[in-house]
Amino acid sequence: MGLTKFFLPAVLIAGLLPATTASPAAAAPVRYQAESATISQGLVESNHAGFTGTGFVNADNVVGSYVQWSVPASAAGQATLTFRFANGTTANRSGDITVNGALVSDELAFNGTGAWTTWQDRVITVNLAAGTNTIRATSTTAAGLPNLDALDVDTAPAPVRGTPQTPTDVTTGLALPWATSFLPDGQSALLTERNSFRVSRVTLNGTRTTVGTVPNSVTTNGEGGLMGVAVSPTWNGTSDQAVYFFHTSNDGGQTQNRIVRMNFNGTALSNRTVIVSGIRSNTFHNGGQLKFGPDGYLYAGTGDAQDTSTSQNNNSLNGKILRFTTSGAAAPGNPFGTLVFSKGHRNPQGLAWDSAGRMWSAELGDTQVDELNLIISGHNYGWPTCQGNCSTPGMDNPKRTWTTAEASPSSLAIVNDTAYVAALRGQRLWRVELNGTSAGATQAYFTNTYGRLRSIVKVPGANTIWISTSNTTNDRLLRSEIR
Ligand code: GCU
Ligand code: CA
């Protein structure tokens, strides 16, 4: 037995299934090599050129020899199976094809291809179940199967995943709600209103109680005021009462954006402490989003405060995404040893993480395009050199762009690796499938139905998002189930 001709028992081969890129929405075929499949009565060989992978299967020339593949499918539905084979004889080497034990093709013909080095495709259409499918080709003649190189599986596009359903009201009569952060038990959330500086507690069934205002808050007669809120992930109302706010404030007569900690005992706010100061404010471009990341550190999106030079300046806290501890110190591992996590931002207001812990940000562009960015520590997102895509070395391009008219994204939530982006000027909800590090299929929902949309947050433990409108008066907090 030479090195190129070897035999592996089926039990051993069964564990060697190919790595797949199960991309739920994509319709790209996935190749499953025959030599990696389960083989009953056959050998893996490589003595006839033209195969892919590391070889092909020479099934024994008997009735009943088979090759069996395990094929995952993200959803039930139609799939195209392509068997790549060679048959150097003139006889039809037919085989029965079964999917999960059911015969789907009776004596499928594998006719002569002219030579053992001439490989051809045999294509059939089958239905696959969600989950792992067992696809087997079994010889039905004494001549055995043709030599089999691979099976390509092309699943039909999966049905749209994560469609937001028509919303219902959680609570109404709000004025410019800006951000929402759930308490760890997922039963209620804190909600900020930008211009009144008011903070409310809202329960899942919509009971709303004012718990206080954030002292020292000021408006900018533009976009500043009381903005982000983040509840400590270990908040319990007693030993941990910490809640954090991002607001424009006037401590010592100096108007700036600051990040503060307050105590919240379940009914009232008290004890404001500034943890990050020196974030410049201006009428517009104040950023304002504040969230705990999966690593337990606080993240904040800061605007350029209408001074574009801040975004590329590592010493400025503006035009950045910041990452810091609950006492306002640079989080360990930050790229420049400061609070700065990423730079080159104009006005990033959406921050969220996918299931792999990757950080995404939605950012308001200038007059041309808005961006959805994949945020990586120390990376430069281009502003003011770039808006949207450009080819400047050292600057990351967005994964998705929109015109400012169809978006102006104020916040971002990720549910089951699908991003939901609330659009102010676009007056709609954008849904973007995230496929690893790229952004996939994108659809708009609720266009011009509820007006401007600002805050969006996932309800913990539920396939539901809360969305707030931003129409200044009679604003609503909406819930939409994701199906
Ligand atoms: C030859 C050929 C094999 C093939 C076999 C067959 O031995 O080299 O690759 O499988 O014929 O007829 O099945
Ligand atoms: Ca054979």
Cis check for the bond before 384: say yes or no (omega within 30 of 0).
Answer: yes
Gap between the Cα atoms of 30 and 20, Å rounded:
7
* Residue 253 phi, psi dihedral angles, 5° rounding: 75, 5
Ligand nearest to the CA of 5: 1
Gap between the Cα atoms of 131 and 425, Å rounded:
41
- pTM here? 0.69
How many A from CA of 87 to the centre of ligand 2?
9
- Residue whose CA lies nearest to ligand 1 atom number 7: 58
How many A from CA of 429 to the centre of ligand 2?
57
- DSSP letters, 22-86, are --TT----EEEEGGGSEEESEEEE--STT-STT-EEEE-SSTT-EEEEEEEESSSEEEEEEEEEE
| DSSP type of residue 142 | T
* Residue 310 phi, psi dihedral angles, 5° rounding: -70, -35
How many A from CA of 91 to the centre of ligand 1?
13
Nearest to 456 by CA among 427, 477, 482: 477
Residue 27 has a pLDDT of: 52
Residue 18 has a pLDDT of: 32
How many A from CA of 100 to the centre of ligand 2?
25
Ligand nearest to the CA of 88: 1
2 burial level (CB within 10 Å; 0-12, 13-18, 19+): exposed
- Residue whose CA lies nearest to ligand 1 atom number 11: 88
- Residue whose CA lies nearest to ligand 1 atom number 5: 58
How many A from CA of 58 to the centre of ligand 2?
4
Query: Counting atoms of ligand 1 from 1, which one is nearest the CA of 45?
Result: 9
pLDDT string in tens for the chain (483-residue length): 334 334 444 333 333 333 333 334 445 799 999 999 999 999 999 999 999 999 999 999 999 999 999 999 988 888 999 999 999 999 999 999 999 999 999 999 999 999 999 999 999 989 999 999 999 999 999 999 999 999 999 986 655 679 999 999 999 999 999 999 999 999 999 999 999 999 999 999 999 999 999 999 999 999 999 999 999 999 999 999 999 999 999 999 999 999 999 999 999 999 999 999 999 999 999 999 999 999 999 999 999 999 999 999 999 999 999 999 999 999 999 999 999 999 999 999 999 999 999 999 999 999 999 999 999 999 999 999 999 999 999 999 999 999 999 999 999 999 999 999 999 999 999 999 999 999 999 999 999 999 999 999 999 999 999 999 999 889 999 999 999
- Residue whose CA lies nearest to ligand 1 atom number 9: 58
Domain architecture of the chain: domains with CATH = 30-154 (2.60.120.260), 168-481 (2.120.10.30)
- Residue whose CA lies nearest to ligand 1 atom number 4: 58
| DSSP type of residue 331 | P
Contact 13, 38 (CB under 8 A): yes
How many A from CA of 58 to the centre of ligand 1?
7
How many A from CA of 37 to the centre of ligand 2?
16
Residue 75 has a pLDDT of: 83
Query: Counting atoms of ligand 1 from 1, which one is nearest the CA of 58?
Result: 10
Pocket test for ligand 1, best of 4, 39, 41, 58 (most atoms within 8 A of CB): 58
Query: Counting atoms of ligand 1 from 1, which one is nearest the CA of 89?
Result: 12
Residues facing 98 on adjacent strands: 103, 136
| DSSP type of residue 197 | -
Residue 271, H or E segment: strand 269-279
Residues facing 57 on adjacent strands: 44, 148
366 burial level (CB within 10 Å; 0-12, 13-18, 19+): middle
Pocket test for ligand 1, best of 43, 67, 147, 148 (most atoms within 8 A of CB): 147
Residue 10, H or E segment: helix 10-14
Instruction: Find the angle CA(387)-CA(392)-CA(395) to the nearest 5 degrees.
Output: 70
Residue 155 has a pLDDT of: 85
- Residue whose CA lies nearest to ligand 1 atom number 2: 116
Contact 59, 139 (CB under 8 A): yes
* Tokens encoding 97: 């094809």
Nearest to 84 by CA among 24, 37, 27, 141: 37
Sign of CA dihedral 235, 236, 237, 241: negative
Distances in Å between the Cα of 394 and the Cα atoms of 166, 204, 252, 383, 397 are 42, 44, 39, 12, 10
Gap between the Cα atoms of 381 and 394, Å rounded:
9
How many A from CA of 117 to the centre of ligand 2?
14
Residue 151, H or E segment: strand 147-155
Residue 10 has a pLDDT of: 39
How many A from CA of 217 to the centre of ligand 1?
82
Amino acid at 55: G
Contact 317, 278 (CB under 8 A): yes
- Residue whose CA lies nearest to ligand 1 atom number 6: 61
Residue 408 has a pLDDT of: 95
Gap between the Cα atoms of 83 and 66, Å rounded:
13
How many A from CA of 47 to the centre of ligand 1?
10
Contact 169, 478 (CB under 8 A): yes
Residue 158 has a pLDDT of: 57
- Residue whose CA lies nearest to ligand 1 atom number 10: 58
Pocket of ligand 1 (CB under 6 A): 48, 58, 61, 116, 144, 147
Query: Counting atoms of ligand 1 from 1, which one is nearest the CA of 48?
Result: 9
Pocket test for ligand 1, best of 45, 116, 139, 141 (most atoms within 8 A of CB): 116
- Residue whose CA lies nearest to ligand 1 atom number 3: 58
How many A from CA of 137 to the centre of ligand 2?
14
Residue 211, H or E segment: strand 208-213
